[in-house]
Amino acid sequence: MAKIAPVLLLILMGLHLLKPLGLPGLKRRSDFWKIAVTAIAVMMLTVLLQAHTGY
């Protein structure tokens, strides 16, 4: 999960720049930063869960 999520989110950002996804809040190409903020939050959550479980 820790290695797959960043790659998938980068691909999603690239696709959104080519053609907007049309999801609520992601209607314009300039909204790709919202995907980046989500990516940072997902990575922080992954690190937090790994630190908590001692894995």
Give the per-residue pLDDT at 15: 87
Interval 1-55: pLDDT, tens? 567 877 888 888 888 888 888 878 778 888 888 888 988 888 888 888 888 776 5
Q: Which of 38, 19, 39, 37 is nearest to 28 (CA)?
A: 19
Give the per-residue pLDDT at 1: 59
0.75 cut: is pTM over it? no
φ, ψ of residue 53 to 5 degrees: the values are -85, -15
